[in-house]
A and B are shown apart, each in its own frame.
Chain A
Amino acid sequence: MDNLLKTPLYELHKMQGARIIDFAGWALPVQFSGIIEEHLMVRTGAGLFDVSHMGEIVVTGKGAVRLLDYLLANEISSLENGIIRYSHICNPNGGVVDDILVYRLGIEEFLLVVNASNIGKDLSWIKSYAYGDVEVEDVSGTTAQLAVQGPFAEGVIQKLISDKIAGMKYYSFQRDVHIGRHRCILSRTGYTGEDGFEIYCSQDEASDLWNLLMDAGEEYNLRPAGLGARDTLRFEACLPLYGHELSEDITPLEAGLGRFVKMDKRDFIGRAALKKQAEEGLKRRLAGLEMMDRGIPRTEYGVFHKGSPVGFVTTGSYCPALQKNLALAIIDINSSEIGQVVEVDIRGRKLEAKVVDTPFYRRSVKT
Protein backbone atom coordinates (compact mmCIF):
# COMPACT_ATOMS: atom_id res chain seq x y z
CA MET A 1 0.00 0.00 0.00
CA ASP A 2 3.05 2.23 0.43
CA ASN A 3 3.29 3.25 -3.23
CA LEU A 4 -0.42 4.09 -3.51
CA LEU A 5 -2.09 7.49 -3.38
CA LYS A 6 -3.98 8.11 -0.17
CA THR A 7 -6.94 10.31 0.61
CA PRO A 8 -6.75 12.53 3.71
CA LEU A 9 -8.95 9.97 5.47
CA TYR A 10 -6.70 6.95 4.94
CA GLU A 11 -5.50 6.69 8.56
CA LEU A 12 -9.04 7.24 9.87
CA HIS A 13 -10.37 4.43 7.67
CA LYS A 14 -7.69 2.05 8.89
CA MET A 15 -8.62 2.87 12.48
CA GLN A 16 -12.27 2.15 11.71
CA GLY A 17 -11.35 -1.32 10.55
CA ALA A 18 -11.69 -0.77 6.82
CA ARG A 19 -10.27 -3.28 4.40
CA ILE A 20 -8.05 -1.26 2.08
CA ILE A 21 -7.50 -2.13 -1.59
CA ASP A 22 -5.68 -0.70 -4.60
CA PHE A 23 -8.27 1.08 -6.74
CA ALA A 24 -6.78 2.77 -9.83
CA GLY A 25 -3.61 3.53 -7.89
CA TRP A 26 -5.44 4.71 -4.76
CA ALA A 27 -5.50 3.01 -1.36
CA LEU A 28 -9.24 3.06 -0.69
CA PRO A 29 -11.60 1.29 1.72
CA VAL A 30 -13.46 -1.47 -0.13
CA GLN A 31 -15.54 -2.31 2.94
CA PHE A 32 -16.00 -1.57 6.62
CA SER A 33 -18.55 -3.95 8.16
CA GLY A 34 -19.30 -5.91 4.97
CA ILE A 35 -20.51 -5.06 1.48
CA ILE A 36 -24.02 -6.47 1.85
CA GLU A 37 -24.65 -4.78 5.20
CA GLU A 38 -23.35 -1.46 3.89
CA HIS A 39 -25.39 -1.80 0.71
CA LEU A 40 -28.65 -2.41 2.59
CA MET A 41 -27.83 0.39 5.04
CA VAL A 42 -27.68 2.88 2.16
CA ARG A 43 -30.94 1.58 0.67
CA THR A 44 -32.81 1.88 3.97
CA GLY A 45 -30.90 4.41 6.10
CA ALA A 46 -27.71 6.32 5.36
CA GLY A 47 -24.06 5.63 4.60
CA LEU A 48 -20.98 7.85 4.50
CA PHE A 49 -18.45 7.42 1.69
CA ASP A 50 -15.01 8.90 1.18
CA VAL A 51 -14.76 9.60 -2.54
CA SER A 52 -11.81 11.97 -2.39
CA HIS A 53 -10.08 10.03 -5.16
CA MET A 54 -12.47 11.63 -7.69
CA GLY A 55 -10.89 14.32 -9.86
CA GLU A 56 -11.90 17.98 -9.91
CA ILE A 57 -11.03 20.35 -12.73
CA VAL A 58 -12.03 24.02 -12.77
CA VAL A 59 -12.58 25.73 -16.12
CA THR A 60 -12.89 29.52 -16.13
CA GLY A 61 -12.88 32.41 -18.56
CA LYS A 62 -14.85 34.01 -21.36
CA GLY A 63 -14.15 31.00 -23.56
CA ALA A 64 -15.28 28.41 -20.99
CA VAL A 65 -18.82 27.84 -22.29
CA ARG A 66 -17.65 27.60 -25.88
CA LEU A 67 -14.89 25.15 -24.95
CA LEU A 68 -17.15 22.90 -22.86
CA ASP A 69 -19.92 22.88 -25.45
CA TYR A 70 -17.35 21.71 -27.99
CA LEU A 71 -15.87 19.04 -25.69
CA LEU A 72 -19.11 17.72 -24.19
CA ALA A 73 -22.07 15.93 -25.73
CA ASN A 74 -24.54 17.58 -23.35
CA GLU A 75 -25.40 21.27 -23.62
CA ILE A 76 -23.55 23.63 -21.32
CA SER A 77 -24.67 27.05 -22.62
CA SER A 78 -28.18 26.47 -21.21
CA LEU A 79 -26.93 25.23 -17.82
CA GLU A 80 -27.99 27.57 -15.02
CA ASN A 81 -25.85 28.68 -12.09
CA GLY A 82 -26.19 26.25 -9.21
CA ILE A 83 -27.22 23.34 -11.43
CA ILE A 84 -25.29 20.19 -12.35
CA ARG A 85 -25.36 18.33 -15.62
CA TYR A 86 -24.08 14.82 -16.35
CA SER A 87 -22.17 14.67 -19.61
CA HIS A 88 -19.81 12.66 -21.79
CA ILE A 89 -16.52 13.79 -23.23
CA CYS A 90 -16.54 11.94 -26.55
CA ASN A 91 -13.76 11.09 -28.96
CA PRO A 92 -14.22 11.69 -32.71
CA ASN A 93 -15.61 8.14 -33.12
CA GLY A 94 -18.34 8.82 -30.57
CA GLY A 95 -16.63 6.64 -27.96
CA VAL A 96 -16.26 8.06 -24.47
CA VAL A 97 -13.11 9.71 -23.10
CA ASP A 98 -14.83 10.14 -19.73
CA ASP A 99 -18.24 10.65 -18.17
CA ILE A 100 -18.33 13.64 -15.85
CA LEU A 101 -20.47 16.02 -13.84
CA VAL A 102 -20.43 19.71 -14.76
CA TYR A 103 -21.23 22.25 -12.04
CA ARG A 104 -21.93 25.80 -13.17
CA LEU A 105 -20.28 27.87 -10.46
CA GLY A 106 -20.76 31.17 -12.29
CA ILE A 107 -21.28 32.70 -15.71
CA GLU A 108 -17.76 31.85 -16.75
CA GLU A 109 -16.80 29.34 -14.10
CA PHE A 110 -17.33 25.57 -14.10
CA LEU A 111 -16.31 22.65 -11.93
CA LEU A 112 -15.85 19.32 -13.70
CA VAL A 113 -15.91 16.20 -11.54
CA VAL A 114 -14.12 13.40 -13.37
CA ASN A 115 -13.21 9.76 -12.77
CA ALA A 116 -10.06 9.18 -10.71
CA SER A 117 -8.51 6.89 -13.31
CA ASN A 118 -9.03 9.51 -16.03
CA ILE A 119 -7.74 12.70 -14.40
CA GLY A 120 -4.50 12.86 -16.41
CA LYS A 121 -6.14 11.87 -19.68
CA ASP A 122 -9.00 14.36 -19.26
CA LEU A 123 -6.69 17.18 -18.31
CA SER A 124 -4.49 16.84 -21.36
CA TRP A 125 -7.55 16.31 -23.58
CA ILE A 126 -9.24 19.47 -22.31
CA LYS A 127 -6.04 21.53 -22.41
CA SER A 128 -5.33 20.49 -25.98
CA TYR A 129 -8.58 22.22 -27.04
CA ALA A 130 -8.36 25.18 -24.65
CA TYR A 131 -7.21 28.26 -26.53
CA GLY A 132 -8.12 31.92 -26.11
CA ASP A 133 -9.55 33.26 -22.88
CA VAL A 134 -9.96 30.07 -20.86
CA GLU A 135 -8.11 28.60 -17.93
CA VAL A 136 -8.05 24.93 -16.97
CA GLU A 137 -6.92 24.06 -13.47
CA ASP A 138 -6.64 20.64 -11.84
CA VAL A 139 -7.67 21.01 -8.18
CA SER A 140 -7.91 17.25 -7.49
CA GLY A 141 -4.84 17.35 -5.27
CA THR A 142 -6.37 19.84 -2.86
CA THR A 143 -10.02 18.78 -2.95
CA ALA A 144 -11.71 16.11 -0.87
CA GLN A 145 -15.17 14.70 -1.45
CA LEU A 146 -17.49 13.00 1.02
CA ALA A 147 -20.85 11.48 0.11
CA VAL A 148 -23.81 10.93 2.43
CA GLN A 149 -26.24 8.61 0.67
CA GLY A 150 -29.57 7.06 1.56
CA PRO A 151 -33.13 8.06 2.51
CA PHE A 152 -31.88 9.59 5.79
CA ALA A 153 -29.14 11.65 4.11
CA GLU A 154 -31.24 14.83 4.18
CA GLY A 155 -31.83 14.45 7.91
CA VAL A 156 -28.12 14.01 8.57
CA ILE A 157 -27.09 17.05 6.53
CA GLN A 158 -29.91 19.22 7.89
CA LYS A 159 -28.56 18.78 11.41
CA LEU A 160 -25.39 20.60 10.38
CA ILE A 161 -26.89 23.40 8.31
CA SER A 162 -29.13 26.29 9.36
CA ASP A 163 -30.81 26.85 5.97
CA LYS A 164 -33.59 24.45 5.04
CA ILE A 165 -32.33 21.95 2.49
CA ALA A 166 -35.57 20.06 1.90
CA GLY A 167 -36.29 22.19 -1.16
CA MET A 168 -32.89 21.56 -2.73
CA LYS A 169 -33.46 19.82 -6.04
CA TYR A 170 -31.61 16.71 -7.19
CA TYR A 171 -28.65 17.73 -9.36
CA SER A 172 -28.42 21.20 -7.80
CA PHE A 173 -25.75 22.54 -5.45
CA GLN A 174 -24.96 25.39 -3.12
CA ARG A 175 -21.60 27.09 -2.87
CA ASP A 176 -20.04 28.44 0.31
CA VAL A 177 -22.19 26.34 2.59
CA HIS A 178 -20.88 26.33 6.15
CA ILE A 179 -20.64 22.95 7.82
CA GLY A 180 -19.05 23.49 11.19
CA ARG A 181 -16.26 25.94 10.45
CA HIS A 182 -15.73 24.57 6.95
CA ARG A 183 -16.83 26.22 3.75
CA CYS A 184 -18.01 23.57 1.31
CA ILE A 185 -19.87 22.92 -1.89
CA LEU A 186 -23.01 20.99 -1.00
CA SER A 187 -24.37 19.03 -3.92
CA ARG A 188 -27.52 16.94 -4.04
CA THR A 189 -26.05 14.14 -6.12
CA GLY A 190 -24.73 10.64 -5.73
CA TYR A 191 -23.81 7.33 -7.26
CA THR A 192 -26.01 4.92 -5.37
CA GLY A 193 -29.51 5.28 -6.80
CA GLU A 194 -30.67 6.85 -3.53
CA ASP A 195 -31.23 10.44 -2.49
CA GLY A 196 -28.04 11.91 -1.11
CA PHE A 197 -25.46 14.64 -0.93
CA GLU A 198 -21.87 15.03 -2.01
CA ILE A 199 -19.73 17.54 -0.18
CA TYR A 200 -16.57 19.09 -1.58
CA CYS A 201 -14.07 20.63 0.79
CA SER A 202 -10.34 21.18 0.98
CA GLN A 203 -8.27 18.10 1.82
CA ASP A 204 -7.08 19.38 5.19
CA GLU A 205 -10.70 19.75 6.35
CA ALA A 206 -11.81 16.28 5.31
CA SER A 207 -11.23 14.32 8.49
CA ASP A 208 -12.90 16.96 10.67
CA LEU A 209 -15.86 17.06 8.29
CA TRP A 210 -16.03 13.25 8.35
CA ASN A 211 -16.25 13.31 12.14
CA LEU A 212 -18.89 16.06 12.11
CA LEU A 213 -21.01 14.00 9.72
CA MET A 214 -20.56 10.82 11.75
CA ASP A 215 -21.66 12.65 14.92
CA ALA A 216 -24.64 14.29 13.23
CA GLY A 217 -25.59 10.93 11.77
CA GLU A 218 -25.58 9.05 15.02
CA GLU A 219 -29.33 9.21 15.53
CA TYR A 220 -29.80 8.01 11.94
CA ASN A 221 -27.39 5.15 12.47
CA LEU A 222 -25.06 6.59 9.81
CA ARG A 223 -22.10 4.26 9.20
CA PRO A 224 -19.10 4.37 6.89
CA ALA A 225 -19.51 2.55 3.60
CA GLY A 226 -16.81 1.45 1.18
CA LEU A 227 -16.20 1.27 -2.54
CA GLY A 228 -17.55 -2.28 -2.68
CA ALA A 229 -21.04 -1.17 -1.67
CA ARG A 230 -20.75 1.94 -3.83
CA ASP A 231 -20.21 -0.35 -6.81
CA THR A 232 -23.08 -2.77 -6.05
CA LEU A 233 -25.37 0.19 -5.33
CA ARG A 234 -24.58 1.99 -8.57
CA PHE A 235 -24.83 -1.29 -10.48
CA GLU A 236 -28.26 -2.15 -9.08
CA ALA A 237 -29.43 1.35 -10.10
CA CYS A 238 -27.75 0.82 -13.52
CA LEU A 239 -25.56 3.91 -13.24
CA PRO A 240 -22.69 3.45 -15.68
CA LEU A 241 -19.09 2.97 -14.54
CA TYR A 242 -16.37 4.23 -16.85
CA GLY A 243 -14.23 1.35 -18.13
CA HIS A 244 -17.24 -0.97 -17.90
CA GLU A 245 -20.47 0.38 -19.40
CA LEU A 246 -18.66 3.26 -21.09
CA SER A 247 -15.26 3.31 -22.77
CA GLU A 248 -13.38 4.70 -25.76
CA ASP A 249 -15.15 1.93 -27.75
CA ILE A 250 -18.67 2.21 -26.34
CA THR A 251 -20.76 5.26 -27.27
CA PRO A 252 -23.30 6.95 -24.98
CA LEU A 253 -26.02 5.88 -27.42
CA GLU A 254 -25.04 2.22 -27.14
CA ALA A 255 -24.99 2.59 -23.35
CA GLY A 256 -28.58 3.86 -23.41
CA LEU A 257 -27.58 7.40 -22.43
CA GLY A 258 -28.81 9.20 -25.55
CA ARG A 259 -30.81 11.66 -23.46
CA PHE A 260 -27.50 13.25 -22.44
CA VAL A 261 -26.41 13.73 -26.06
CA LYS A 262 -27.67 16.95 -27.63
CA MET A 263 -27.36 16.54 -31.38
CA ASP A 264 -29.06 19.89 -32.08
CA LYS A 265 -26.63 22.13 -30.24
CA ARG A 266 -23.44 23.57 -31.80
CA ASP A 267 -20.92 21.08 -33.15
CA PHE A 268 -19.07 18.98 -30.59
CA ILE A 269 -16.40 16.29 -30.78
CA GLY A 270 -18.01 12.99 -31.72
CA ARG A 271 -21.24 14.52 -33.02
CA ALA A 272 -20.86 13.37 -36.63
CA ALA A 273 -20.13 9.79 -35.58
CA LEU A 274 -22.98 9.73 -33.05
CA LYS A 275 -25.41 11.25 -35.54
CA LYS A 276 -24.46 8.60 -38.09
CA GLN A 277 -24.88 5.87 -35.50
CA ALA A 278 -28.32 7.20 -34.54
CA GLU A 279 -29.42 7.43 -38.18
CA GLU A 280 -28.19 3.98 -39.12
CA GLY A 281 -29.65 2.47 -35.97
CA LEU A 282 -27.73 0.80 -33.15
CA LYS A 283 -26.11 -2.55 -33.90
CA ARG A 284 -25.63 -3.36 -30.21
CA ARG A 285 -26.86 -1.94 -26.93
CA LEU A 286 -26.42 -2.15 -23.19
CA ALA A 287 -29.02 -4.54 -21.82
CA GLY A 288 -29.91 -5.91 -18.42
CA LEU A 289 -29.61 -9.67 -17.88
CA GLU A 290 -31.07 -11.74 -15.10
CA MET A 291 -29.62 -15.21 -14.54
CA MET A 292 -32.15 -18.02 -14.78
CA ASP A 293 -29.58 -20.75 -14.05
CA ARG A 294 -27.45 -20.63 -10.91
CA GLY A 295 -24.34 -18.54 -11.40
CA ILE A 296 -22.97 -15.04 -11.06
CA PRO A 297 -22.06 -13.26 -14.29
CA ARG A 298 -18.85 -11.25 -14.03
CA THR A 299 -17.21 -8.48 -16.09
CA GLU A 300 -16.03 -9.64 -19.54
CA TYR A 301 -17.85 -12.98 -19.50
CA GLY A 302 -19.13 -13.77 -23.01
CA VAL A 303 -22.83 -13.64 -23.92
CA PHE A 304 -24.21 -16.09 -26.49
CA HIS A 305 -27.46 -16.66 -28.33
CA LYS A 306 -28.09 -20.21 -29.51
CA GLY A 307 -24.36 -20.83 -29.19
CA SER A 308 -23.18 -17.81 -31.22
CA PRO A 309 -21.36 -14.93 -29.51
CA VAL A 310 -23.53 -11.81 -29.25
CA GLY A 311 -21.66 -9.70 -26.70
CA PHE A 312 -20.04 -9.42 -23.30
CA VAL A 313 -20.85 -8.58 -19.69
CA THR A 314 -19.77 -5.05 -18.67
CA THR A 315 -20.65 -5.53 -14.97
CA GLY A 316 -22.21 -8.47 -13.21
CA SER A 317 -22.93 -9.15 -9.57
CA TYR A 318 -25.16 -10.60 -6.96
CA CYS A 319 -27.51 -7.75 -6.04
CA PRO A 320 -28.02 -7.57 -2.28
CA ALA A 321 -31.29 -5.60 -2.22
CA LEU A 322 -32.90 -7.60 -5.04
CA GLN A 323 -31.26 -10.92 -4.15
CA LYS A 324 -30.70 -11.76 -7.80
CA ASN A 325 -27.69 -12.43 -10.00
CA LEU A 326 -27.75 -9.67 -12.60
CA ALA A 327 -25.58 -8.27 -15.35
CA LEU A 328 -25.30 -5.34 -17.66
CA ALA A 329 -24.04 -6.47 -21.05
CA ILE A 330 -23.33 -4.98 -24.43
CA ILE A 331 -25.18 -7.29 -26.81
CA ASP A 332 -26.27 -7.52 -30.42
CA ILE A 333 -29.44 -5.50 -30.93
CA ASN A 334 -31.19 -8.56 -32.42
CA SER A 335 -30.71 -10.51 -29.20
CA SER A 336 -31.62 -7.67 -26.86
CA GLU A 337 -35.41 -7.73 -26.76
CA ILE A 338 -36.88 -7.90 -23.26
CA GLY A 339 -37.59 -11.52 -22.39
CA GLN A 340 -35.06 -12.90 -24.88
CA VAL A 341 -33.21 -15.89 -23.44
CA VAL A 342 -29.43 -15.82 -23.94
CA GLU A 343 -26.50 -17.69 -22.41
CA VAL A 344 -23.66 -16.34 -20.31
CA ASP A 345 -20.39 -18.27 -20.42
CA ILE A 346 -19.55 -18.70 -16.75
CA ARG A 347 -16.14 -20.36 -16.58
CA GLY A 348 -16.81 -22.66 -19.51
CA ARG A 349 -20.47 -23.40 -18.83
CA LYS A 350 -23.15 -21.66 -20.85
CA LEU A 351 -25.86 -20.74 -18.37
CA GLU A 352 -29.24 -19.24 -19.26
CA ALA A 353 -30.19 -15.65 -18.59
CA LYS A 354 -32.98 -13.47 -19.87
CA VAL A 355 -32.97 -9.88 -21.02
CA VAL A 356 -34.78 -7.69 -18.49
CA ASP A 357 -35.72 -4.04 -18.21
CA THR A 358 -33.36 -1.53 -16.58
CA PRO A 359 -32.72 -0.01 -14.09
CA PHE A 360 -32.87 -3.09 -11.87
CA TYR A 361 -33.60 -0.85 -8.89
CA ARG A 362 -35.42 2.47 -8.80
CA ARG A 363 -36.01 4.32 -5.56
CA SER A 364 -39.50 5.45 -4.75
CA VAL A 365 -39.58 9.23 -4.89
CA LYS A 366 -41.33 11.17 -2.16
CA THR A 367 -44.48 12.90 -3.41
Chain B
Amino acid sequence: MNIPAELRYTQKHEWVRIEGSKAYIGITDFAQHSLGDIVFVELPEEGMILKAGDSLGVVESVKAVSDVYCPLSGTVGEVNRALIDYPEKINQAPYENWMAVIEVTDPGEVDKLLTPEQYEETVKNESQ
Protein backbone atom coordinates (compact mmCIF):
# COMPACT_ATOMS: atom_id res chain seq x y z
CA MET B 1 0.00 0.00 0.00
CA ASN B 2 1.45 3.34 -1.08
CA ILE B 3 1.65 5.96 1.73
CA PRO B 4 3.82 8.91 0.56
CA ALA B 5 6.00 10.34 3.30
CA GLU B 6 5.36 14.00 2.42
CA LEU B 7 1.59 13.88 3.01
CA ARG B 8 -0.65 13.94 6.10
CA TYR B 9 -3.65 11.67 6.59
CA THR B 10 -6.95 11.08 8.40
CA GLN B 11 -8.52 8.06 10.09
CA LYS B 12 -11.12 8.08 7.30
CA HIS B 13 -8.53 7.68 4.54
CA GLU B 14 -8.21 11.20 3.18
CA TRP B 15 -4.76 12.56 2.34
CA VAL B 16 -3.69 16.20 2.68
CA ARG B 17 -0.86 18.03 0.92
CA ILE B 18 -0.03 21.43 2.44
CA GLU B 19 1.32 24.15 0.13
CA GLY B 20 1.47 27.45 2.01
CA SER B 21 -2.09 28.29 3.06
CA LYS B 22 -3.51 25.76 0.59
CA ALA B 23 -4.42 22.16 1.39
CA TYR B 24 -4.91 19.68 -1.47
CA ILE B 25 -7.26 16.86 -0.44
CA GLY B 26 -7.88 13.43 -1.93
CA ILE B 27 -8.49 9.83 -0.93
CA THR B 28 -5.69 7.39 -0.21
CA ASP B 29 -4.45 4.38 -2.13
CA PHE B 30 -5.98 2.17 0.57
CA ALA B 31 -9.34 3.91 0.13
CA GLN B 32 -9.42 3.59 -3.67
CA HIS B 33 -8.35 -0.03 -3.43
CA SER B 34 -11.04 -0.87 -0.88
CA LEU B 35 -13.72 0.83 -2.98
CA GLY B 36 -12.80 -0.84 -6.27
CA ASP B 37 -13.70 0.72 -9.64
CA ILE B 38 -14.69 4.32 -8.96
CA VAL B 39 -17.49 5.43 -11.27
CA PHE B 40 -18.79 8.66 -9.74
CA VAL B 41 -17.42 11.64 -7.84
CA GLU B 42 -19.40 14.43 -6.21
CA LEU B 43 -17.36 17.57 -5.49
CA PRO B 44 -18.06 20.58 -3.24
CA GLU B 45 -18.86 24.01 -4.66
CA GLU B 46 -16.05 26.49 -4.93
CA GLY B 47 -16.36 29.18 -2.27
CA MET B 48 -18.09 26.89 0.25
CA ILE B 49 -16.95 27.43 3.81
CA LEU B 50 -16.33 24.12 5.56
CA LYS B 51 -15.42 23.09 9.08
CA ALA B 52 -13.10 20.17 9.72
CA GLY B 53 -15.27 17.04 9.58
CA ASP B 54 -17.89 18.48 7.19
CA SER B 55 -18.73 16.55 4.05
CA LEU B 56 -16.39 17.42 1.21
CA GLY B 57 -18.00 15.15 -1.34
CA VAL B 58 -18.82 11.58 -2.28
CA VAL B 59 -16.92 8.87 -4.11
CA GLU B 60 -18.91 5.97 -5.50
CA SER B 61 -17.64 2.68 -6.84
CA VAL B 62 -19.83 0.18 -8.68
CA LYS B 63 -20.94 -1.29 -5.37
CA ALA B 64 -20.32 1.31 -2.67
CA VAL B 65 -21.03 4.91 -1.73
CA SER B 66 -18.34 6.54 0.37
CA ASP B 67 -18.39 10.00 1.98
CA VAL B 68 -15.27 12.12 1.86
CA TYR B 69 -14.77 14.48 4.82
CA CYS B 70 -12.96 17.78 4.90
CA PRO B 71 -9.95 17.30 7.19
CA LEU B 72 -9.34 21.03 7.75
CA SER B 73 -11.52 24.12 8.23
CA GLY B 74 -11.46 26.64 5.41
CA THR B 75 -12.90 27.77 2.11
CA VAL B 76 -13.08 25.58 -0.98
CA GLY B 77 -10.73 27.33 -3.38
CA GLU B 78 -10.78 24.97 -6.33
CA VAL B 79 -12.21 21.59 -7.26
CA ASN B 80 -10.77 19.02 -9.65
CA ARG B 81 -13.44 19.01 -12.35
CA ALA B 82 -11.58 16.48 -14.47
CA LEU B 83 -12.77 13.82 -12.03
CA ILE B 84 -16.41 14.41 -12.99
CA ASP B 85 -15.84 12.83 -16.40
CA TYR B 86 -12.93 10.60 -15.43
CA PRO B 87 -13.55 9.35 -11.86
CA GLU B 88 -11.37 6.29 -12.59
CA LYS B 89 -8.31 8.60 -12.39
CA ILE B 90 -8.56 8.22 -8.61
CA ASN B 91 -8.00 4.46 -8.98
CA GLN B 92 -5.10 5.04 -11.34
CA ALA B 93 -3.25 7.70 -9.32
CA PRO B 94 -4.91 8.50 -5.99
CA TYR B 95 -2.23 10.96 -4.82
CA GLU B 96 -2.16 12.95 -8.06
CA ASN B 97 -5.89 13.30 -8.37
CA TRP B 98 -6.90 15.59 -5.55
CA MET B 99 -10.60 16.35 -5.17
CA ALA B 100 -10.49 19.88 -3.76
CA VAL B 101 -8.18 22.61 -2.52
CA ILE B 102 -9.00 24.28 0.81
CA GLU B 103 -7.79 27.73 1.83
CA VAL B 104 -6.94 26.81 5.39
CA THR B 105 -8.23 29.16 8.12
CA ASP B 106 -6.83 27.32 11.15
CA PRO B 107 -3.28 26.11 10.47
CA GLY B 108 -3.22 24.63 13.97
CA GLU B 109 -5.49 21.83 12.73
CA VAL B 110 -2.74 20.53 10.50
CA ASP B 111 -0.85 19.25 13.52
CA LYS B 112 -3.81 17.05 14.44
CA LEU B 113 -3.63 15.14 11.15
CA LEU B 114 -2.01 11.73 11.09
CA THR B 115 1.62 11.36 10.13
CA PRO B 116 2.44 8.72 7.48
CA GLU B 117 3.60 6.40 10.29
CA GLN B 118 0.36 6.86 12.22
CA TYR B 119 -1.69 6.32 9.07
CA GLU B 120 0.19 3.14 8.30
CA GLU B 121 -0.91 1.86 11.73
CA THR B 122 -4.53 2.73 10.90
CA VAL B 123 -4.35 0.83 7.64
CA LYS B 124 -2.69 -2.14 9.32
CA ASN B 125 -5.45 -2.34 11.91
CA GLU B 126 -8.18 -2.13 9.28
CA SER B 127 -6.65 -4.75 7.05
CA GLN B 128 -6.72 -7.36 9.79
Contacts and interface: CB of A to CB of B under 8 A. Distances in A.
Interface of A: 19, 30-31, 34-37, 228, 231-232, 294-296, 298, 317-318, 320, 325, 347
B39 interface: yes
A35 B63 contact: yes
A298 B65 contact: yes
Contacts of B78: none
A296 B63 contact: no
B60 interface: yes
B58 interface: yes
Given A34-B37, A35-B36, A35-B37, A228 B63 contact: yes
A36 B58 contact: no
A296 B37 contact: no
A31 B58 contact: no
Contacts of A232: 62
Contacts of A347: 58, 65
Interface of B: 36-37, 39-40, 42, 58, 60-63, 65, 84
A228 B37 CA distance: 11
Nearest to B55: A347
B36 A34 contact: yes
A318 B61 CA distance: 9
Contact of A228 (B39, B58, B62): B62
A318 B62 contact: yes
A19 B63 CA distance: 13
Contacts, number: 38
Most buried by A among B37, B40, B60: B37
- Chain B at the A interface: SS class: strand
A282 B85 CA distance: 40
Contacts of A37: 37
Contacts of B58: 347
Contacts of B61: 35
Contacts of B62: 35-36, 228, 232, 317-318, 320
Contacts of B40: 294-296, 318, 325
Top-6 shortest CB links A-B? A318-B39, A35-B62, A36-B37, A296-B40, A34-B37, A296-B60
A318 B87 CA distance: 12
Nearest to B37: A36
Nearest to A39: B62
A361 to B, nearest CB: 15
Contacts of A36: 37, 39, 62
Contacts of A294: 40, 42, 84
Most buried by A among B58, B63, B84: B63
Contacts of B65: 296, 298, 347
Contacts of A298: 65
B74 to A, nearest CB: 23
Given A30-B63, A35-B63, A232-B62, A296 B39 contact: yes
A318 B36 CA distance: 13
Contacts of A31: 36
Nearest to A37: B37
A298 B65 CA distance: 9
12 contacts: A30-B63, A35-B62, A36-B39, A37-B37, A228-B36, A294-B42, A295-B40, A296-B39, A296-B65, A298-B65, A318-B40, A318-B60
A232 B63 CA distance: 9
A244 to B, nearest CB: 14
A56 B42 CA distance: 43
Most buried by A among B37, B62, B65, B84: B62
A345 to B, nearest CB: 14
A295 B62 CA distance: 12
Contacts of A320: 62
A317 B63 CA distance: 8
A298 to B, nearest CB: 7
Nearest to B87: A318
Contacts of B60: 296, 318
Nearest to B64: A298
A364 to B, nearest CB: 24
B118 to A, nearest CB: 26
Contacts of B63: 30, 35, 228, 231
Given A35-B61, A228-B36, A294-B42, 11 more contacts: A34-B36, A34-B37, A35-B37, A228-B62, A231-B63, A294-B40, A294-B84, A295-B42, A296-B60, A296-B65, A298-B65
